[in-house]
Amino acid sequence: MRLVVLASGRGSNLQAILEANRRGELDVDIVAVFSDRADAPALAIARAAGIAADALDASAFATRAAFDAELLRRVAACSPDLVVLAGYMRIIDPAVLAPWVGRMLNIHPSLLPKYPGLHTHRRALAAGDHEHGASVHFVTAELDGGPVVARVALPIHAHDDAVTLAARLLPLEHRLYVGVIALAGTGRLRWREGMPQLDGQALSTPLVHDGQSSFIGADA
């Protein structure tokens, strides 16, 4: 499976995908990494792995839609089977995104539909939640609102703050995303008739990841 990754920051999910590929947990070909920030560490990670990496400057475009159109034009030139958002922090224009729905995944650090957007760890703590987590969803025009295909959860401890909670969640995020990409790479997870399917059946309830290496009750 040909993968293009979009990233804005440190690239920890990209690194996790690369390492899983080296270990044989994935069988994907990351053909390019694109960013909206020339100084994004994710680009350096890609280049060190011999992957084509480039950044586009949003300020060089008259509108957000123009930026997004050029970005996805470059993505399309790579002929990806799947586009993976790995800490990509820009909202994609709905009209530009439309042809890509069903071919683009995102990971979000909350148990969606709770806490779309930013500062999810802080918001979970402020709400007094007893658990927190991460979700992988297909990207649609609604912010963090596309169909959720899988999630992972962890308990919130009494001594947690936003920093410690984020640090405990991050390795679970990595394993969750690798697991979902593996399902897509083997063809088990697909987008059909406007919704996600697993093994040819509509996925009406998100898969639950055990935080280690498998999905509970999914024979995955």
The catalytic residue positions are 108
DSSP-derived 3-state class of residue 85:
strand
HEC string of 33-72 equals: EEECCCCCHHHHHHHHCCCEEEECCHHHCCCHHHHHHHHH
CA distance linking residue 131 with residue 129, whole number of Å = 6
Length of the chain: 220
Axis-axis angle for helices 41-48, 12-23 (nearest 10): 20
CA distance linking residue 172 with residue 184, whole number of Å = 19
Q: Distance from first CA to last CA of the chain, Å, rounded?
A: 18
